[in-house]
Amino acid sequence: MVNSIIGDRLFSAAVTPMRADESVDHNALGLLIDADLTRGVEGVYVCGSSGEGVNLAESERISVVETAVSAAAGRAPVVAHVGAMSTGESIRLASAAESSGAAAISMIPPLYYGYSTADVVAHFRAVIESVDIPFILYNIPQFTGRDISEGGFEELLELPQVIGVKHTSRNLYGAERIIQRYPHLSLINGFDEFYLPGLSIGAEGAIGTTVGLQIELFVALRRRFAAGDITGARALQARINDTVEAMVEAGVFGAAKYLGGKYSKPLGSCRRPLPELGDDALRSLDEAWDRLQQHIATTRAEEA
């Protein structure tokens, strides 16, 4: 189960395109996913941080998953993030994702009320047991205030439906401890700028905001690492990080939509209160796009 869904796959953490009135643009989402898969992306993760999942209505999240599964058309697995503030909503989202044909579901812990670890485990367990598809725990402590790698989730990580942890954290020590304690799980890299460090401690695959933008660089880095060419892999990580840095400076989620639109069609702005990109940010991103195309061309020449 783990190898067929995760393995060393490179998943795009897809954005959710929006029209000027902030309604979801399903046509643009389908075109984006098709373009990503055509260029070599190996999986799609929807309604996560990049997809503004927590800013979407329940019905919107259900329809985004349906669109993603339809656009993927069996070419790659679709993982649906179903984390929500109530257990009931997460269960409904999980059930809808399963019915739509999603390969797995994923969740962040619930927020705001200062839940105990036992409360969070019970929440996760109720959602996991409501469906028959695999589950990926989403660890993103800078947003949730809770680091899964610090312990307390042992009974959850032993459940047969739990196949991995999406680790979007700079705590590589904690990630390595998860790998050692739960060797049956996939530790999935979540920070694109940590892809090589993640591989070095045993991470399998990646789910990232920039994977779709620079899949060529990720694939080449993976190949060089597997071949033992660490110097070459480090050069690829540096190229990946050039784009990551520019996007973070501009506003990473808006930047992901702006740059992703260059591969398909304009993807709109983020839903408020996430800010629109200013003129300076757009100019900076246009320059980053030009550098990215140079990096891709250089990498293709090296790999030929």
The residues annotated with a catalytic role in the active site are 138, 166
Question: Contact 134/5 with Cβ under 8 angstroms?
Answer: yes
Contacts of 232-240 spanning 24+ positions with Cβ under 8 A:
232/302, 233/196, 233/199, 234/196, 236/196, 236/299, 237/193, 237/195, 237/196, 239/214, 239/295, 239/298, 239/299, 240/192, 240/193, 240/195, 240/210, 240/214
Six-digit token string for 110 = 């619930």
Secondary structure of 33-64 in HEC code, one letter for each residue: HHHHHHHCCCEEEECCCCCCHHHCCHHHHHHH
Q: What is the rounded (10 degree) CA torsion for 46, 48, 51, 52?
A: 140
DSSP code at position 77: -
What is the total residue count of the chain?
Answer: 304
CA distances from 180 to 3, 159, 194, 195, 300 (A): 18, 17, 19, 19, 36
Tell me 24's DSSP state. Answer: B
CA dist 154 and 171 (Å) reads 18
Q: What share of the chain is helix, strand, coil (3-state, %, to 5)?
A: 55, 10, 35
Which residues are CB-contacts of 235 (< 8 A; sequence separation ≥ 6)?
none
In the three-class reduction of DSSP (H, G, I as helix; E, B as strand; rest coil), residue 167 is classed as: strand
CA–CA separation, 67 and 29 (whole Å): 7
Any idea which residue has 């490179």 for tokens? Answer: 10
